[in-house]
Amino acid sequence: MIRFSLFGIPVEVQPFFWIVMALLGRADRADSREDFLAVALFVIAAFISVLIHELGHALTGRKLGGGYASIILTSFGGLAMNQGGRFTRHQRFLMIAAGPGAGFAFLLAILVTLSLIFDSTDVIAFASRHLFGQGIPFKTFELMDFLEKKPFIHFFLADLLLINFWWGVLNLLPIMPLDGGQITDIYVKPQRRVFLIGLVAATAMSLFGFLKLGLYPGFFFGYFAWINYQNMKSLNWQ
Ligand SMILES: [Zn+2]
């Protein structure tokens, strides 16, 4: 177990975090030195990104509601907690939104930094290819030539883009306990309806995952569908 403190907020990284991130980085298929290095880079990119996301929650929560903030990185990502803080509904919304917000801001900072070094059209072309599988044409080949010579910087940048964009977007789906589900929970009553929305969205995403994205996303959302179903069953319509 790794423990450290960042901006006065205690952070605990559980061993399971590294295992799940390594599996998401395709550690099961790695069979060469280069493959293992690529997995290690993915894990580092995930660690930095999840930490920035949780810091967004924790720092905003501490600033708005006081209390004692702490962060745990665990199997399914991260958790930012705030004990003893007092929040209005609007402040709770801001605290939850600050997690994905921090990730998107980090993504933007990476793209702006790249644009200071390389042609900005090329940076957009590079990002859109990695994020959406297609994009606008490159203007020059400086960025791609540079990345071809430095494949590990290429992997690392691609991982950071993918994680901070796609995990951020998926995390905003209205599924408990994702951030999108927590935001739904602030505004939708009764709470049983929140879990019903989560069940429907997670089931749809699980099917989409199995059909289009692969086993892990399928199981991941399937697990969330089950959690939402269990919670819904335990509540009555009020
Ligand atoms: Zn979050």
**115-174 residue pLDDT tens:** 999 999 999 999 999 999 888 888 898 888 899 999 999 999 999 999 999 999 999 999
Q: Strands, E, within 28-182: which ranges?
A: 68-74, 77-83
Alpha carbon of 52 to ligand 1 centroid (Å)? 10
Tell me the C-alpha distance between 82 and 113, whole Å.
33
Out of 153, 172, 191, pick the residue that ends a domain: 172
* Comparison of pLDDT for 76 and 74, the residue scoring more: 74
Alpha carbon of 73 to ligand 1 centroid (Å)? 11
Domain check: are 92 and 79 in the same one? yes
Domain check: are 65 and 116 in the same one? yes
Domain check: are 202 and 139 in the same one? no
Domain check: are 216 and 128 in the same one? no
Domain check: are 42 and 158 in the same one? yes
Out of 149, 172, 195, pick the residue that ends a domain: 172
Compute the average pLDDT of residues 26-37. 87
Domain check: are 52 and 85 in the same one? yes
Domain check: are 90 and 194 in the same one? no
**CA distances in angstroms from 232 to 110, 196, 198, 215, listed in the order given:** 40, 6, 9, 25
Could you read off the pLDDT of 149-158 as tens digits, one per residue? 999 999 999 9
Compute the average pLDDT of residues 21-48. 91
Here the tokens at position 182 are: 């927590």
Alpha carbon of 173 to ligand 1 centroid (Å)? 12
Tell me the C-alpha distance between 127 and 158, whole Å.
8
Domain check: are 123 and 187 in the same one? no
- The pLDDT > 70 percentage for the chain reads 99
Alpha carbon of 93 to ligand 1 centroid (Å)? 11
Domain check: are 106 and 194 in the same one? no
Domain check: are 39 and 127 in the same one? yes
Number of domains in the chain: 2
230 pLDDT above the threshold of 80: yes
Predicted pLDDT at 81: 93
pTM of this prediction? 0.92
Domain check: are 53 and 91 in the same one? yes
**Which domain covers residue 224, as residue numbers?**
173-238
226 pLDDT above the threshold of 80: yes
Tell me the C-alpha distance between 84 and 132, whole Å.
42
Q: Residue 109: what residue type?
A: A
Alpha carbon of 189 to ligand 1 centroid (Å)? 21
The two most distant CA atoms of the chain are separated, in Å, by 62
The candidate with the shortest Cα–Cα distance to 71, out of 102, 104, 93, is 102
- The pLDDT > 90 percentage for the chain reads 81
The candidate with the shortest Cα–Cα distance to 119, out of 137, 148, 142, is 142
Out of 172, 189, 210, pick the residue that ends a domain: 172
Domain check: are 100 and 217 in the same one? no
Alpha carbon of 50 to ligand 1 centroid (Å)? 8
Given pLDDT bands bounded at 50, 70 and 90, which one contains residue 238? Answer: low
